[in-house]
């Protein structure tokens, strides 16, 4: 592949700066009373449903590496990668039994791993920041083995927090709220967290990458993030061409019609 994700308008660099600045405080979110502690448990459980001890897992956009280390602790060969040097430096400062930490170019187009290198890929709260989710999903599908799983979370548009995001786009009177540090932080987040799509859009993007949806556990409490789980399909050459044509002909429609794999029949 050629070209680089997000180079056109500097989006990838803006995302990198955003997370480099937040790196010093990111781990605190995973403290026992931190905002992300519950998420760590639910994501580890979710990944654990689809893998076996010793499986190779890539944590794409690993941040400070809490999930990567939790997966390694659970007996998986976990590798973390990220575009933010500051996030990754903190992740790598504690090896935690992980297989490795990999620095990505901010506008990477190809992941630096061989095809089918992993049994599972997880991307927790990452795709909302990338300029071209379809290109990233295609790479996730390439580096996972046929039949392997790809799990990712995306903003859930059904959650009230997401409705508030629309309101935040409404221009305020000049000067209003600009004094508020929290408001400015929120606006900065919305500038880099761009990808807001319906469920069927994510299904269509994943389908075009050769990923087929798998039923996944429902979370007890409504969350602003939705977990989606896929398996890399084993398409023959002609099936792959047909699927690509169908997806091109009507991305939204194929997303709505995507069938869930029966998890019971997969293992």
Ligand X SMILES: C[S@@+](CC[C@H](N)C(=O)[O-])C[C@H]1O[C@@H](n2cnc3c(N)ncnc32)[C@H](O)[C@@H]1O
Q: Which among 155, 81, 91 has a CA at the least distance from the CA of 118?
A: 81
How many CA within 13 A on the CB side of residue 38?
8
Select from 70, 72, 98, 130 the one that contacts ligand X (CB under 6 A): 130
Structure tokens at 24: 């010093």
Residue 228: CB partners within 8 Å, gap ≥ 6?
151, 152, 153, 154, 199, 202, 203, 206, 213, 216
Query: DSSP code of 115?
Result: T
* Residue 202 engages ligand X in binding (rule: CB under 6 A): no
* Residue 125 engages ligand X in binding (rule: CB under 6 A): yes
Nearer to ligand X, 7 or 198 (CB): 7
Question: Interface with ligand X by CB under 6 A: which range of 63-71, 140-148, 179-187, 240-248?
Answer: 63-71
In the three-class reduction of DSSP (H, G, I as helix; E, B as strand; rest coil), residue 243 is classed as helix
Q: Which among 196, 177, 195, 175 has a CA at the least distance from the CA of 187?
A: 177
**Smallest distance from the beta carbon of 15 to ligand X, in angstroms?**
5
In the three-class reduction of DSSP (H, G, I as helix; E, B as strand; rest coil), residue 29 is classed as helix
Select from 51, 71, 87, 98 the one that contacts ligand X (CB under 6 A): 87
Q: How far is CA 223 from CA 132, 158, 226, in A?
A: 24, 9, 7
Site string for ligand X, 89-108 (x = CB under 6 A): ---------------x----
* Residue 61 engages ligand X in binding (rule: CB under 6 A): yes
Question: Interface with ligand X by CB under 6 A: which range of 46-54, 80-88, 165-173, 174-182?
Answer: 80-88
Nearer to ligand X, 61 or 255 (CB): 61
Site string for ligand X, 31-60 (x = CB under 6 A): -----------------------------x
Binding site for ligand X (CB under 6 A): 15, 19, 60-63, 66-67, 82-84, 87, 104, 124-126, 129-130
């Amino acid at each position: 592949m050629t070209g680089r994700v997000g180079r056109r308008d500097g989006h990838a660099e803006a995302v990198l700066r955003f997370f480099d600045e937040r790196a010093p405080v990111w781990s605190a979110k995973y403290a026992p009373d931190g905002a992300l502690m519950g998420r760590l448990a639910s994501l580890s459980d979710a990944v654990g449903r689809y893998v076996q001890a010793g499986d190779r897992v890539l944590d794409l956009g690993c941040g400070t590496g809490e999930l990567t280390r939790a997966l390694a602790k659970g007996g998986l060969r976990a590798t973390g990668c990220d575009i933010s040097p500051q996030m990754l430096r903190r992740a790598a400062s504690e090896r935690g039994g992980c297989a490795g930490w990999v620095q990505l170019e901010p506008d990477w187009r190809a992941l630096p791993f061989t095809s089918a290198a992993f049994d599972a890929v997880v991307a927790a709260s990452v795709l909302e920041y990338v300029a071209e989710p379809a290109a990233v999903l295609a790479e996730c599908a390439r580096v996972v083995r046929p039949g392997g799983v790809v799990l990712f979370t995306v903003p859930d548009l059904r959650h009230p927090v997401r409705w508030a995001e629309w309101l935040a786009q409404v221009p305020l009177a000049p000067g209003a709220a600009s004094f508020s540090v929290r408001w400015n932080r929120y606006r900065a987040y919305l500038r880099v967290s761009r990808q807001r799509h319906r469920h069927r859009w994510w299904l269509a993007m994943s389908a075009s990458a050769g990923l087929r949806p798998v039923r996944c556990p429902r979370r007890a409490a409504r969350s602003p993030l939705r977990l989606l789980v896929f398996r890399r399909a084993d398409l023959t050459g002609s099936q792959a061409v047909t699927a690509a044509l169908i997806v091109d002909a009507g991305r939204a429609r194929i997303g709505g019609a995507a069938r869930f794999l029966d998890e019971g029949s997969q293992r």
